[in-house]
Structure 1
Amino acid sequence: MASMLRRGDEVEVCSKQVGFVGSYYAATVITNIGNHSYAVRYKNLVTEEDQSQPLTEIVAADEVRPMPPKVSATGFSLYDAVDAYDNDGWWVGAISGKRGSDHYYVFFNTYGVEILYPLSRLRPHLSPLLSFSNVIKPSSLSVSRSDSVCGSRMALILRGDEVEVCSKQVGFVGSYYAATVINNYGNQSYAVRYKNLVSEDDESQPLIEIVSADEVRPMPHTVSATEFSLYDGVDAYDNDGWWVGTISGKQDSDHYYVFFDTYGVEILYPLSRLRPHRETNGIWVTKKRV
């Protein structure tokens, strides 16, 4: 909460309105109203009636903080807390990736979205409770535990971990997609960024999705197979993911028929697109002759 703010002070107002939570807007204090609110004039927001006039508003004292000092940053690390300048205000997020030398992906936990920004539109997120002396950095050791993952017991999943998401959507049941954990939400769900799936709105951007904890499992270790036997449990790589099936036949030395019980179909695959199907109970187990 802001303290000892006077008329004329430069401040930032952190909105609590739906759709604007986690955003800060530059303003000037016009006057204070008792100990609980201030009248402020925004620097970059205008009135709906006359867009040549700055917006004036009465806001609660706990929505106002002193203007943070300007801090220049030459770069950021994964999970650094930042503010991204967008729509006339600063929005609180965390660095979730990097593109090139001066563009960063920012994940906004409140809205479950990830957006790419140039370095010039980012600043370190500062806390007035620390007199703006420290940058708050979310712990990369934020952990969550889930009871099951597609039928398998699961270990700790950390932010930044490589995982596979096993879909429960109709038409995709029994398929696994590689992803990276961006954030977790208690013990119930994770925000993930897929490696091979893209956004419908912009196919140059990876798909970001919030999935339930029981749909996520650690990335299995790479295991090469020189051959399979009849009825071995396998995963077949198709349509950007791994699909669970069973060896139902062999065509030659390196081509196998795979039967997908969920869909009642059999497809021929080269050995290079198959891997042993494994489940985890803390220890990866290969499913043989299921």
Structure 2
Amino acid sequence: MAPKSSNSKCKTPQDLHFKPGSIVEISSDDDGFRGSWYVGTIIRRASTKNPNKYLVQYEKLFNDKAGKKPLREILDLVQLRPVAPREKQRKFKGTREQIVFGEEDLRLHREWDNGEWQPSLERVQEEKQEENEEEDEVKEEKKKDKLKEEVEPMITKEVKPIEAMTEEKVSKGMLVEETLILKEVKPIEAMSDEKFSKGMPVEVSSDEEGFEGAWFAATIVEVVGKDKYLIEYQSLRTEDDSDFLREEVDILHIRPRPPETIVVDRFKLLDEVDASYNDGWWVGVIAKVLADSKYIVYFRDSEEEMMFRHSELRLHQDWIGGEWILPSLAVKL
């Protein structure tokens, strides 16, 4: 049995993209409008003799002032193209003329070339992924470099008692790293013998998310058990704001109030400080010294920077082995 003959023809890009009802974009040759594209709809082919002419209807151009009668025109195929595909997110480059647009009013520019959009959406997505990976690598390297710059000057090679320093022969101009100790450091195991008495001003830390590393001023109300105390905060209040908040905390979350004998007229770059914020003291590093006794402080835990006045900062001290110790300092002798 002989096969049936077929009159079907291979569909061209023209047949696929410019059927009646297809949404298209329309260019204009009018002065002042060259290079712009308008959204419209294919109504039909305008002529059976010339397959490259189409009747189109504009979406937002009208024949009347009331805007109720959409403009229709017969246009050549070269003035038409399908609607370009759009990616989800993209950073856009500006021109010398600045106009504010919402992201929904912008798209990546593409050219309609030989029945295909260039560049393709797949290629743009690959380039975007590569770009994001490169940005992440650069950010990670900057973060490591910044942390290295902050930490290196504070590293102590060897901790020695201050009185021993006077016995060493140090060449003029030599840098010696030391730890300034307010008192003789007690062994760690002696901490269990350190007790807090009723009415003693203290600072209390929290393990709640978002409050790690912060210390809040409080007062010991009473001892409620072995290494456990009832405290009353000096700035945190109850939910109904009727009184200052009280709670039971263990000795690992309590420390005495730091001594106020250390007065700093001006903090220096990379000084480790406590910053007063949200009713607590937060450990940070001086990232920038500003005018008018103001500073930019960098917080390692949150990787954030904030501005503080001099009165809102204090030199950071660590409570170690039952004693207050200053961070390591590089001293030029």
TM-score, length-normalised on structure 2?
Answer: 0.39
- Give the strand-richer structure, 1 or 2: 1
TM-score, length-normalised on structure 1?
Answer: 0.45
- Give the helix-richer structure, 1 or 2: 2
Relative contact order: is structure 1 or structure 2 higher (C-alpha 8 Å, sep ≥ 6)? 2
Larger Rg: 2
